[in-house]
Copies of this chain bind each other. A is one copy, B any other.
Amino acid sequence: MIMTTEQLILQIHKKRSFLCIGLDVDLDKIPKHLLEEVDPIFEFNKAIIDATHHLCVAYKPNLAFYEAYGLKGWKALEKTIKYINNNHPEIFTIADAKRGDIGNTSTRYAKAFFEDLAFDSITVAPYMGKDSVEPFLAFENKHTILLALTSNPGAFDFQTDSEDDNALYKKVLKTSKTWDNAHNLMYVIGATKAEYLAEVRKIVPNNFLLVPGVGAQGGNLEDVCKFGMNDHIGLLINSSRGIIYASNDLDFAKAATLKAEELQIQMETILKGN
């Protein structure tokens, strides 16, 4: 299904949720009984998807977790994205790849993730500038989610290198707005810095923000919505470990449903008040 921004907004209202679930599969953390399956990574994802698809609008596999398992990991990733696209075409899919390379090489990555794997979007690092990002933006109805302000401690090393308008994350927001097909841009803005979201919204009032860091990393959902929500919602809140590893026993899928439901109910309350 063609995932336009309008379609994503429609799904948010329909499901009363702007939850994104991170599918970061770690074989050391999944329930032991799954390890007997032929493809434990896919079986885990399938169970999580079956248990949560009605509560979220997006899934985000982080590629590192799949590449860590080599061919086996890539196979599981391919099966996972196909499973989502075939069974839940209304779900927005994010390849959390943080790619970025010189022009012709970025085109390779864009084709791999947008066409071959059929993801709706990919996360991209801005360090190499315009010609490393525009090849992704060239794909119509595909979304490029640019790292701006990340949720890890190292975000303060370079991204917030200045207190004023010269901070790198602000330059990334401002400069990227001028690139070709900038309407296909979304941004990663960490929840652990909710106070920064007001600054971000001054520069990019309309773009969707993918917000990691709620829950495990300490970010607060209400603050994020207070400073980051716009009149078409404009937020995707990611939770990974808090949901997918809510239990590592036979009841893991049920536990994931309950944790996702908790967040969905909070989101529904916020949406009603908006």
Contacts and interface: CB of A to CB of B under 8 A. Distances in A.
A112 B156 contact: no
B127 A68 contact: no
A2 to B, nearest CB: 22
A110 to B, nearest CB: 9
A104 to B, nearest CB: 9
B116 A98 contact: no
Interface in A150-202: 150-159, 161, 168, 171-172, 175
Contacts of A147: 127-128
Interface in A207-238: none
A171 B103 CA distance: 24
A132 B152 contact: yes
A101 B105 CA distance: 20
**Residue of A67, A127, A130, A156 most packed against chain B (CB within 10 A):** A127
Nearest to A131: B154
A130 B116 contact: no
Contacts of A125: 98, 100, 125, 127-128
Contacts of A116: 68, 70
B62 A105 contact: yes
Given A71-B78, A108-B67, A112-B70, A154 B168 contact: no
Interface of chain A, main secondary structure: helix
A29 to B, nearest CB: 11
A47 interface: no
A65 interface: yes
Contacts of A152: 102-103, 128-129, 131-132
**Residue of A108, A147, A156, A157 most packed against chain B (CB within 10 A):** A157
A154 B171 contact: no
Contacts of A129: 152-159
A128 B100 CA distance: 13
A70 B77 CA distance: 10
A64 interface: yes
A47 to B, nearest CB: 22
